[in-house]
Amino acid sequence: MVNPNQDARGGNGKYTRSLTTAKRDAEAANLRSKGYSYTRIAETLGYSDRGSAHHAVKRVLELTVQEAGEELRQVERERLDRLSEAAWAVLERQHVTVSNGRIVSLDGQPLPDDAPVLAAIDRLLRISESRRKLEGLDAPTKTHVSGGVKYEVVGVSTEDLM
């Protein structure tokens, strides 16, 4: 059984998270939000020192930001899905060329208009790019910088440098 007055350590000596420690960390963050000092939080919740209380609050804040970030990514995924569905609908529809409010015909058949199809393709590519960035699927771009560096020494004789 973990002693609530000590940090929970695994077999490797590192901090391990459990339901008990997670609840205690959440309470530490709650007390900190009420203005408690880390020393007072440590004393109140049985952390070994103020540093342990600080780490507990930091863990909660990091997890909260991480969870909020994941929720935001999920909302963005759903938005990109809706945009993609709308672009696909435009892509799959039949489009005819219109000029001066009239359908343009060739040999009695409406002349297809490729502009909306091409615009939908461009939009789908942009949506795909946004999705790849959101999911971190694109490899980082490597930039090669070449060239030399020229140093100029002012106020010193070159013989003095040798």
Q: Which amino acid is at 149?
A: V
**pLDDT (tens digit, 9 = 90+) per residue, 43-62?**
999 999 999 999 999 998 88
CA dihedral 13, 19, 24, 30 (to 10 degrees): 130
Give whichever of 63-77, 100-114, 131-145 has the largest mean pLDDT. Answer: 100-114
Residue 2: predicted pLDDT:
39
Alpha helices in 34-141 (DSSP H): 38-45, 50-92, 115-135
pLDDT tens-digit map of 6-23: 445 556 666 567 788 889
Distance (Å, rounded) from C-alpha 47 to C-alpha 28?
Answer: 10
